């Protein structure tokens, strides 16, 4: 009987299952309730007394070997199944990684930056939490100036001199304070105004403002720059400039691009005129240059500003500005190819 158990020990040591099912059959054979080990333990009472010690040690060795074999092979086969499931079938169709998508605001902003970078404009950035000087006073908007009411501002309660910037013109002021002409920069960024949220307006939105300051800069330079931008951005070269008012530019103008009346949507967007307002612009007011330590007797410049959100609405025919900030994946996935 002892010799028979030793033969089983040898079988256990050489056992090499090919699958978890085969290993389970092995476990049942030796360690199950009706397994061989239980049969051998049942025979213990019939073994002569002088052989009981050796018989018991041999049975325990068989049990230990069987348990070790089951535990070891279970780990090996489990890893093998996992590897096989993941990489075993090299003929299966590939599953490409899911691609993300850029936000439409980022798409339009990057396109604007690219267009102006071709004619020498760099990108400047500044803080979203501003002080009164850079957001208003330096831009020819002193305290109690009526034009301040044009921009409903979010002020920080603990300090009335600190606010959320209402335009990225504050970045231009900071840039002029730290750089001498020639200056040619655009300032994209998020701005905040205390306005009612609707399909056409929001309490925060995105702007990009441009500034060019050098000797002999004229309104003609401004017009040609804007002509170039509208052609590159919209594929439409017909523009018009209407007189307007901004505290930090003089003279000032609103820029319209001729969108056309080819579709019903064109009629709705342009109210039947074919013209669409896209930005404001003008020659930098001499007082603004003085506030930034630039001599207006030597230098002149122009500035312009536009809403990135508004352009994104136009280019992609998006009906509601609130869609930009709702993080609806179904909406954002439409821009994967851009």
Residues 163-195 pLDDT 10s: 899 999 999 999 999 999 999 999 999 999 888
Q: What's the pLDDT score for residue 141?
A: 84
The whole-number pLDDT of residue 105 equals 92
- Poorest-pLDDT segment among 93-107, 123-137, 209-223, 235-249: 93-107
258 with 307, same domain: the answer is: yes
In a domain, 330, yes or no: yes
Spatial separation of the C-alpha atoms in residues 243 and 236, rounded to whole Å: 21
Same domain, 184 and 245: yes
Average pLDDT over residues 196-209: 87
pLDDT score for 316:
85
Residues 10 and 131 in one domain: no
pLDDT surpassing 70 at residue 272: yes
Q: Does pLDDT of 117 surpass 90?
A: yes
Q: Looking at the 3D structure of the chain, how many domains does it have?
A: 2
Residue scoring higher pLDDT (43 or 267): 267
Task: Give the pTM.
Answer: 0.68
pLDDT in the model for residue 179: 93
Q: Tell me, what's the pLDDT at 80?
A: 60
One domain for residues 166 and 46: no
Q: Answer yes or no: is 177 within a domain.
A: yes
Question: Cβ(261)–Cβ(269) under 8 Å?
Answer: no
146 lies in the same domain as 116: yes
3-state SS string for the chain: CHHHHHHHHHHHHHCCCCCHHHHHHHHHHHHCCCCHHHHHHHHHHHCCHHHHHHHHHHHHHHHHHHHHHHHHHHHHHHHHHHHHHHHHCCCCCCCCCCCCCCCHHHHHHHHHHHHHHCCCCEECCCCCEEEHHHHCHHHCCCCCCHHHHHCCCCEECCEEEEEECCCCHHHHHHHHHHCCCCEEEEEEEEEECCCCCCCCCCCEEEEEEEEEEECCCCHHHHHHHHHHHHHHHHCCCCEEEEEEEECCEEEEEEEEEECCCCCHHHHHHHCCCCEEEEEEEEEECHHHHHHCCCCCCCCEEEEEEEEHHHHHHHHHCCCCHHHHHCCCHHHHHHHCCC
Output 80 or 268, whichever has higher pLDDT: 268
How far is Cα of residue 234 from the mean position of the Cα atoms in its chain? 25
Would you place residue 4 in the very low, low, confident or very high pLDDT band (cuts 50, 70, 90)?
confident
Check whether residue 165 and residue 295 sit in a common domain: yes
- The residue written with tokens 């009411």 in the block is 149
pLDDT reading at 75 higher than 60: yes
Q: What band does 226 get if pLDDT is binned at 50, 70 and 90?
A: very high
Domain boundary pick from 51, 86, 121: 86
In a domain, 95, yes or no: no
Least confident of 126-135, 200-209, 231-240, 259-268: 259-268
Say which range, 192-201, 218-227, 284-293, has the weakest mean pLDDT.
192-201
Q: Percent of the chain having pLDDT more than 70?
A: 92
Do residue 7 and residue 119 come from a single domain?
no
**Has residue 136 been placed in a domain?**
yes
* pLDDT at residue number 337: 65
* 252/73: higher pLDDT: 252
For the chain, what is the mean pLDDT?
85
Task: Determine which of 84-88, 105-109, 131-135, 148-152 has the lowest per-residue pLDDT on average.
Answer: 84-88
Q: Is residue 98 part of a domain?
A: no
Give a yes or no: residue 91 inside a domain.
no
**pLDDT digit string, tens, across residues 277-306:** 999 999 999 999 999 999 999 999 999 999
Which of these ranges, 149-153, 159-163, 217-221, 293-297, has the smallest mean pLDDT? Answer: 149-153
In a domain, 40, yes or no: yes
Residue 29: partners with Cβ closer than 8 Å, 6 or more residues away:
35, 36
Q: Are residues 146 and 249 both part of a single domain?
A: yes
User: Of the residues 86, 121, 143, which one is the last residue of a structural domain?
Assistant: 86
Task: Answer yes or no: do 64 and 129 share one domain.
Answer: no
Residues 82 and 41 in one domain: yes
Residues 112 and 51 in one domain: no
Q: What domain range is 76 assigned to?
A: 2-86
Residue 154 lies in a domain: yes
CATH number at residue 305: 3.30.930.10
d(CA 130, CA 161): 9
| pLDDT of 174 | 95
Question: What is the mean pLDDT of the segment spanning 307-333?
Answer: 87
Q: Which of 199, 194, 209 is nearest to 323 (CA)?
A: 199
Residues 19, 140 within the same domain: no
């Amino acid at each position: 009987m002892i010799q028979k158990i030793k033969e089983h020990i040898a079988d256990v040591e050489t056992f090499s299952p090919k699958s978890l099912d085969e290993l389970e059959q092995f476990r049942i054979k030796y360690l199950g309730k009706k397994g061989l080990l239980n049969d051998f333990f049942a025979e213990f009472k019939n073994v002569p007394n002088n052989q009981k010690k050796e018989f018991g040690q041999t049975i325990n060795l068989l049990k230990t070997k069987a348990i070790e074999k089951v535990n070891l092979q279970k780990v090996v086969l489990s890893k093998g199944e996992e590897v096989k499931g993941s990489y075993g079938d090299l003929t299966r169709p590939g599953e490409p990684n899911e691609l993300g998508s850029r936000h439409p605001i980022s798409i339009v902003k990057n396109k604007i930056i690219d267009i102006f970078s071709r004619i020498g404009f760099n990108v400047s950035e500044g803080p979203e939490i501003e002080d009164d000087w850079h957001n208003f006073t330096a831009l020819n908007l002193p305290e109690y100036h009526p034009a301040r009411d044009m921009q409903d501002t979010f002020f920080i309660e603990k300090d009335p001199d600190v606010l959320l910037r209402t335009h990225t013109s504050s970045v231009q002021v900071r840039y002029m304070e730290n750089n001498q002409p020639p200056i040619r920069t655009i300032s994209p960024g998020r701005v905040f105004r205390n306005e009612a949220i609707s399909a056409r307006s929001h309490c925060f939105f995105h702007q990009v403002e441009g500034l060019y300051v050098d000797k002999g800069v004229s309104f003609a330079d401004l017009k040609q720059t804007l002509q170039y931008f509208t052609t590159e951005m919209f594929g439409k070269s017909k523009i018009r400039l209407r007189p307007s008012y901004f505290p930090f530019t003089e003279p000032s103008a609103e820029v319209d691009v001729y969108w056309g009346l080819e579709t019903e949507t064109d009629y709705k967007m342009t109210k039947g005129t074919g013209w669409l307002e896209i930005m404001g612009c003008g020659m930098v007011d001499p007082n603004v240059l003085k506030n930034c330590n630039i001599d207006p007797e030597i230098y002149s410049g122009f500035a312009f500003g536009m809403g990135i959100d508004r352009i994104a609405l136009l280019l992609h025919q998006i009906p509601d500005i609130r869609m930009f900030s709702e993080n609806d994946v179904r909406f954002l996935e439409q821009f994967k190819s851009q």
